[in-house]
Amino acid sequence: MTKDMNMSFRKVVEISPFENSVKNLVLRQLGAKIIIDAAMSKTRVINIDETWLRMEDFRAMKWQAPRSKNSCVKKLWSPRISMLLAFDNYGESYVALSQSNTNSNVALLFLRELNKRLNEEKRNWRKDTLIYWDGASYHQSDATLKLIEELKMPIIITGPHSYDIAPCELWFAMFKKVNINPRRVKTGKG
């Protein structure tokens, strides 16, 4: 089939049934346009996202000397660690770690602390800053939306599956490409 139909045999990537629906494609394009327009006007654009860490070594591949074993220990952490990240278009990052699943309470705490830090750095940061994150349920909860309004944070929610416009995803990918605990420091209780 390679020669006859100019096709190649490749790994199938799983996606949700609605990931590329017309509605989601339009929402992603609108979000991207808002973010690009903001960045082009020298607005500080901050992406917020979260991930979890359940092991210290995420590598699927690594460099190895010829004829030696290419293996690494996959020690699971319990409880897992949640990482929240705010990352801007100038390279600044704000990171929080917790031993809990991310929910509205964790998101509220992160937003309060981010707001406090941004206020310390520049009092009128809201005038030239746009914050965006995905549409996770706790990003849109009543408590979260109320806090965003109370803090007057300029936040937009992007369309579903907007990974390509989320630099946090690249930050997480780079972070997880190395052994994050090379000295084998104890990571759990006991």
Query: Quick one: pLDDT at residue 75?
Result: 59
On whether residue 11 sits in a domain, the answer given is no
On whether residue 172 sits in a domain, the answer given is yes
Of 44-48, 49-53, 184-188, which one has max mean pLDDT?
A: 44-48
- Phi and psi at 76, nearest 5°, equal -80, 145
CATH code, domain with 162? 3.30.420.10
> Could you read off the pLDDT of 98-137 as tens digits, one per residue?
887 788 899 999 999 999 999 999 999 999 999 999 888 8
Instruction: Give the side-chain half-sphere CA count within 13 A for 98.
Output: 14
The counts of H helices and E strands in the chain are 5, 5
On whether residue 111 sits in a domain, the answer given is yes
Local confidence band at 1 (pLDDT 50, 70, 90 cut-offs): low
On whether residue 85 sits in a domain, the answer given is yes
Query: Which residue range forms the structural domain that includes residue 140?
Result: 45-58+76-180
pLDDT at 63 over 80: no
On whether residue 10 sits in a domain, the answer given is no
- The position carrying tokens 């005038």 is 127
Q: Positive or negative CA dihedral for 160, 101, 166, 33?
A: positive
As for how many domains the chain has, the answer is: 1
On whether residue 71 sits in a domain, the answer given is no
Query: Quick one: pLDDT at residue 122?
Result: 96
Mean pLDDT for 175-184 is: 67
Query: Quick one: pLDDT at residue 189?
Result: 42
More confident residue, 41 or 160: 41
DSSP designation for 80: E
The answer to whether 55 touches 76, Cβ cutoff 8 Å, is yes
- Phi and psi at 49, nearest 5°, equal -155, 170
Mean pLDDT for 159-164 is: 80
On whether residue 108 sits in a domain, the answer given is yes
The answer to whether 132 touches 47, Cβ cutoff 8 Å, is yes
User: What's the CA gap between 188 and 179, in Å, rounded?
Assistant: 17
Reported as type and span, the H/E element at residue 173 is helix 167-175
User: What's the CA gap between 12 and 17, in Å, rounded?
Assistant: 14
Angle between helices 142-151 and 104-121 (to 10 degrees): 10
Local confidence band at 64 (pLDDT 50, 70, 90 cut-offs): low
On whether residue 17 sits in a domain, the answer given is no
